A and B are shown apart, each in its own frame.
Chain A
Amino acid sequence: MDKFTLGIAQLAPVLGDLERNLALHEKILREAEGQGVDLLLFPELSLTGYFLKDMVPSVALTPRDSRLDFLKRASRGMAIVVGFVEESSDHRFFNAAAYFDDGKLRHVHRKLYLPTYGLFDEQRYFAQGDKLRAFDTRFGRMALTICEDLWHPATAYLAALDGAQVILCVSASPGRGLRPGGTFANAAAWEHLNRAYAQLFTCFLCFCNRVGYEDGACFWGGSEVIAPTGEALVRAPQLEEALLTVTIDRREVQRERIANPLLRDERLDLTIRELKRITRELERILRARAKGTR
């Protein structure tokens, strides 16, 4: 499928209320069906809300939980990405995102980088994911990432080198810094990141952020899709709920990679060699330090 319609549900989940959020998802799924969406993204922790704190275990689901069945059913017509708290069989809790398609759960991504600074406290409540894998979909090869993951360039680098032509990023970004310019300081930073990744890795970057307020923090929305040229194809309003749709033409990846063969010229061998050297040197320093303190 060269062209597909991407939908972005920029919604405000209810904090800690799985039942109401499931109903909200069902409602938006129906709307998106009416608009011919092929792949619908919901934001980070869309089924639970973000600042959960001690509620994390009580809203957690295993991927086999029957409460997710309606998403499997709905995915017979349209692929769906939702954010949820995943409980593993050994009872760790992950900030996770799931990709459903054709009636099945196809992929789960567990957030790799858990912000624990400023207003964030994720490592107190969540376990770190330890895998980044691109995966094949009927719309081409994709990677699924969650918010802070993309503040570490290694995430986008690995995704692109693992063959992703579309990077999906689901987010719950609270706005900070209201200096003049019509947006939050961190929202402006996100705009730079999204464009830089799309352009550097000649891929589509689909950013789905939420809106709404939790404990005084305001999620700013501004979901957007950036083409491999670095150009924004569509942008949702700030602070308001929206269902955004846009046609993605995968041939744009090919065109941009012909014009700008950055990935062809990527030196993975060089990167690995130098990373190994850096690791060896770090280990040597650590060993020397350990000896010194004895």
Chain B
Amino acid sequence: MNPTVIMPELTLDWDLCAKVLTGFIQSEVRRAGFRRVIVGVSGGVDSSLAVTLAAAAMGPGNVWGISMPYQASSPESLTHAQLIADRLEVNLFQVDITPQIDAYFAAFPDADHIRRGNKMARERMTILYDHSARLEALVLGTSNKTELLLGYGTLYGDMASALNPIGDLYKTQVRCLAAHLDVPAEIVGKKPSADLWVGQTDEDELGFSYEAVDRLLYYLVDRRYERPALIELGFEAQFVEAVSRRIQSSQYKRRPPVIAKVSGRTIDRDFRYPRDWGV
């Protein structure tokens, strides 16, 4: 796979894209009264891109990465986290989550790998937010548009953040922008994995490649193509069906919890203020 070859439909002006996203980080962080950001650095391309953009936006000294391995995490993940941190000269420290995960599951030994994976993602979130308070640093999100649409993330786990610079970029766009910004080729080119259990890869678990699903998502979501038009483009009906179902069934993950309406003005229904309210 050459990670920097991308469908023409998904090709962006990478320089301008980087400029918009660094400007976004600067603006959001400063207006909230902060100057530092903190990122969970996994050694994968999403967090490597987020940390690269953050270093450009806030200066490397204001960027804190935490790598949070579990004992089963691939050693390559740690090497790559260190590689990107060294290259950018951002701060990096490590918190091993093995003791807290193992202590918890000692009481629930029959928990399956999904429960364990979700628990790890949520432990990492609590660690990030704890150090967010300690360092007065905002938590930067690293979920891309592909995984947000597919619901391929843990609610209140890796999906939690104060601001997300890459949430409107598909995975293949994340790779291209990362390559454009000189994220090392071994990070950009490796098989994407949540690294929640040994040998896990995103594409095995999802059942399709990012190249294929990004192209479908582009026509389905961005261009609002209906099913017959998608099939005309050469997508298999089953693939279209499976992806559409995933988007629909994960909608709850992309919204705040639903509130039972009793008053005349309910939060997020008819009490509507921008997130950047007065900042």
Contacts and interface: CB of A to CB of B under 8 A. Distances in A.
Interface of A: 14-17, 51-55, 175, 178-184, 212-216, 218, 238-239
B274 A15 contact: yes
B24 interface: yes
B214 interface: no
B276 interface: yes
Contact of B24 (A179, A181, A184, A218): A218
A51 B274 CA distance: 7
Contact of B23 (A16, A213, A215): A213
Contacts of B19: 239
Contact of B274 (A52, A181, A184, A218): A52
Interface in B26-74: 27-28
Nearest to B20: A218
B263 to A, nearest CB: 15
Contacts of B20: 175, 178, 218, 239
Interface SS of chain A: helix, strand, loop or mixed?
Answer: loop
Contacts of B28: 213, 216
B272 interface: yes
A53 B28 CA distance: 19
B103 to A, nearest CB: 38
B23 A15 contact: no
Contact of A178 (B13, B277, B279): B13
Contacts of B12: 178-180
Residue among A15, A53, A178, A214 with the highest chain B CB neighbour number at 10 A: A178
A182 B277 contact: no
B134 interface: no
Contacts of A213: 23-24, 27-28, 276
Interface residues of B, number: 22
A212 B27 CA distance: 8
B7 to A, nearest CB: 12
B278 interface: yes
Given A213-B28, A239-B19, A53 B273 contact: yes
Contact of B276 (A179, A182, A214, A238): A214
A15 B16 contact: no
Contacts of B17: 178
A137 B168 CA distance: 45
A54 B270 CA distance: 9
B261 interface: no
Contacts of B278: 14-17
A53 to B, nearest CB: 4
A124 to B, nearest CB: 8
A10 to B, nearest CB: 14
Interface in B2-30: 11-13, 15-17, 19-20, 23-24, 27-28
Given A15-B279, A178-B20, A239-B23, A215 B274 contact: yes
B57 to A, nearest CB: 12
A54 B272 contact: yes
Contact of A55 (B27, B273, B275, B279): B273
Given A53-B272, A180-B11, A216-B168, 13 more contacts: A15-B276, A52-B274, A55-B274, A55-B277, A178-B13, A178-B20, A179-B11, A180-B12, A182-B15, A213-B23, A213-B27, A214-B276, A216-B28
A52 B276 CA distance: 9
B108 interface: no
B277 A15 contact: yes
30 contacts: A15-B274, A15-B277, A15-B279, A17-B278, A51-B274, A51-B276, A53-B272, A53-B273, A53-B274, A54-B271, A54-B272, A54-B273, A55-B277, A178-B16, A178-B20, A179-B11, A180-B13, A181-B13, A182-B16, A183-B16, A213-B23, A213-B24, A213-B27, A213-B276, A216-B28, A216-B168, A218-B20, A238-B16, A239-B20, A239-B23
